[in-house]
Amino acid sequence: MILIQDTIISPDVLEEYFQCDLSLCKGICCVDGEAGAPVEKDEVIRLEEALPPVWDDLSPQAKNIIEKQGVVYLDRDGEYVTSIVDGKDCVFTCYDENGYCRCAIEKAFREGKTDFYKLVSCHLYPVRVVQYKGFRAVNYHRWSVCEAARILGKANNVKVYQFLKEPLIRKFGEEWYEELEKTVKAKG
């Protein structure tokens, strides 16, 4: 484990290879799972504010779920997660012309319709951050649907932390990421 500021980082984040390969996975991480994506408390309002620009991109089922229970719910651990359709699909999923699953919020951001990029937990995936008393754990979530990302990452020599540079900086700050890079370099 590596300690940087108030975070404990799993060695897998530094040692494992990863680079999303949407052409093979087709965005399955947004539609396969037991619960919605983790949502930070301050992001609930951002999701609600993002609804008008994304509404037309959402499925009728997703709209119905949102109207009944809202954009989030509390999971079995008492944490906010995005509402889901049929026990799996995030309500914010939409599909492009190739049938690839996309985030409707990110699509609206790229089209200049909102200033909210997407949930930080989605941006950070396959890394998951867990808050404990006094520290945060930064862990690599290994999932079979991401096998293509591990293969592509290895082929291009891209480690998890390198692939996730932008979202790690978004979550922890530039200084934190610089310290992470120095630590990796020192370990050689």
Beta strands 2-4 and 7-9 are antiparallel
Distance CA 101, CA 32 (A): 11
Q: Map tokens 């992470």 to a residue.
A: 180
Residue-wise pLDDT tens digits, 135-188? 999 999 888 888 999 999 999 999 999 999 999 999 999 999 999 999 999 987
Q: For residue range 97-135, what is the model confidence (pLDDT) as tens digits?
A: 888 888 999 999 999 999 999 999 999 999 999 889 999
Alpha helices in 33-75 (DSSP H): 41-54, 60-69
Do residues 5 and 168 lie in contact, with contact meaning Cβ atoms separated by under 8 Å?
no
Domain ranges of the chain: 1-18+126-188, 26-117
